[in-house]
Amino acid sequence: MPAVVRWTLVVILFLVSIGTSGDAEAKRKKKHKGPPPEGWMAVEEGQPECYNPPVWESLDLIDRKMKRSDVMDEMLGQWRGNRNDGVSFNEVMVEKVETVLLGRPEAIEQVVQDNLTHCSKGNISAWGAWASGLAKSLTAGECNTPFDYTMFDHLDIETEWQRNRLICKGNKVVLKASKDKYRITDDGPWITVEGDPAMPTSGLSDWPCHIDGCLAGILMLKFKGESGQESIYVVGRRLVFTAPEHGSIEFRINDTQFFDNKWWTSGGIVDHTSIEISPAP
């Protein structure tokens, strides 16, 4: 075979080899397209690594449930500063998020995916702000504090609102009070939680209770909803109340000053009005 022909064949084989190698490399690169592998991954130099969750749909139900716990631990561990990468969020906030997620494990999958998005942006301040609002957003519209117990207490006639208690929308409770006596002025009459009938305060805006039926010294209830709206209710000896939204309840007597309030005393025994709040039958 002439030398020119031999060199021509060598060149052709070399070029074919390069083309084949290039095709193989292209195939290898194409094969790796798709989501990055599960675990910690670097996004950009100088930024904290971010945890990439698994492809949840690739797991069977049992493995999927077990993996949620592992992935949550990785995420919260970084939030607690365990990776020493500059990320360290408020511990109280982290515990709240953990508590919420433990009660809602199905929410973990979306949370860790959103966490990856915020981490990848490299803005730790914005990432922390998102994390801080997470517990509230996950429980929006829910109520974990139903008033399903009975509370016993004594009325304090020398203070304003007392015993703030959470209540859920639709909870129906009964508030009852004993008829022990007290007075709210030095020379005023001895009254009970039903108030002084000779001193109505309806329409008097400087009194805390000024709706119809309000009397000086009467026992009243305040409801404050999640919306921020507050409402006053006349209690007297007994009131059945249904919460119109999630919120809280407090009680007090209708008075504008407390320094001259005094309990009735007889034979050395001092009256004290008892209060009972319980679920309505």
pLDDT tens digits along 244-276: 999 999 999 999 999 999 999 999 999 999 999
Q: Which residue has the higher pLDDT, 26 or 53?
A: 53
Which of 11-15, 19-23, 156-160 has maximum average pLDDT? 156-160
Mean pLDDT along residues 209-226: 96
pTM above 0.95, yes or no: no
**Same domain? 94 vs 157:** no
Looking at the structure, tell me whether residues 155 and 248 fall in a common domain: yes
pLDDT at position 226 is 87
Residues 122 and 175 grouped into a single domain: no
Tell me: do 98 and 183 sit in the same domain: no
Instruction: Evaluate if residue 28 carries a pLDDT over 60.
Output: no
What proportion of the chain, given as a percentage, has pLDDT over 90?
A: 77
Flag whether pLDDT at 16 surpasses 90. no
Residue 22 located in a structural domain = no
What is the DSSP secondary-structure string of the chain? Answer: --HHHHHHHHHHHHHHHHHHHHHHHHHHHHHT-SSPPSEEE--STTSPPEEEPP-GGGS-HHHHHHHHHHHHHHHHHHHTTTT-SS----HHHHHHHHHHHHH-GGGHHHHHHHHHHHHHHT-HHHHHHHHHTHHHHHTTT--S----S-EEEE--TTSSSEEEEEE-TT-EEEEEE----EESSTTSPPB-TT-EEEEE-TT-TTSS--STT-EET-EEEEEEETTS-EEEEE-TTEEEEE-SSSEEEEEEES-S--TT-EE-EETTEEP--EEEEEE--
Q: What pLDDT sits at residue 43?
A: 86
Residue 143, pLDDT score: 85
pLDDT in tens, 34-46: 566 889 999 888 8
Mean pLDDT of all residues belonging to the chain: 89
Rounded CA separation 236/219 (Å):
5
CATH of the domain at 163: 2.60.120.430
Q: Average pLDDT of 55-70?
A: 93
Is the pLDDT at 33 greater than 80, yes or no?
no
Residue 23, pLDDT score: 53
Residues 162, 121 share a domain = no
In the listed set 110, 138, 166, which residue is the last one of a domain according to the structure? 138
pLDDT tens digits along 100-153: 899 889 999 999 999 999 999 999 999 999 999 998 888 877 887 899 999 999
Domain residues for the domain of 219 are 151-279
pLDDT reported for residue 2: 55
pLDDT of residue 212: 95
CA distance linking residue 207 with residue 202, whole number of Å: 9
Q: Return the pLDDT at 141.
A: 75
Task: Report yes or no on 144 lying in a domain.
Answer: no
Does one domain contain both 163 and 99? no
Clarify whether residues 155 and 268 are in a common domain: yes
How many structural domains compose the chain? 2
Residue 5 in this model has a pLDDT that exceeds 50:
no
Say whether pLDDT at 31 is over 60: no
